[in-house]
Amino acid sequence: MFNQQIIPTQAVPGQYGLVIVNPDGSTVGGGVQGTLSLIKEQSDYLQTFSYLDAGAADERVSTIVHNSATLSQSITETFAYTGSAGNYRISTITLS
């Protein structure tokens, strides 16, 4: 990212993200999706998984935290499920 700046932004009220500003003034990123993309591009990108019913037959992912120490940012991906034991399905995935 030579000659680029990474700055925090608030593209949507109450929703923060990161934007890369290039030397020519063009920008990349913004909002939660843009920040997640920037985090995933970093050499120190790390994912941390949390599980519901860990170790059981119904074990399933609850959250994935995407983190980059370089950017001092993290995004949490939260999974909600419908159904019952033995028959869970993802109903929503939320980024925050």
CB-based burial label for 2 (10 Å; 0-12, 13-18, 19+): exposed
Query: Regarding predicted confidence, which is higher, 6 or 62?
Result: 62
Supply the range of the domain harboring residue 20.
Answer: 5-95
pTM, to two decimals: 0.70
CA distance 92 to 88: 12
pLDDT of 66 strictly over 60: yes
Q: What is the mean pLDDT of residues 43-62?
A: 93
For residue 72, CA distances in Å to 29, 48, 56, 66, 69 come to 16, 15, 34, 11, 5
Residues 29-41: tens digit of each pLDDT = 566 777 888 888 8
Report the domain count for the chain: 1
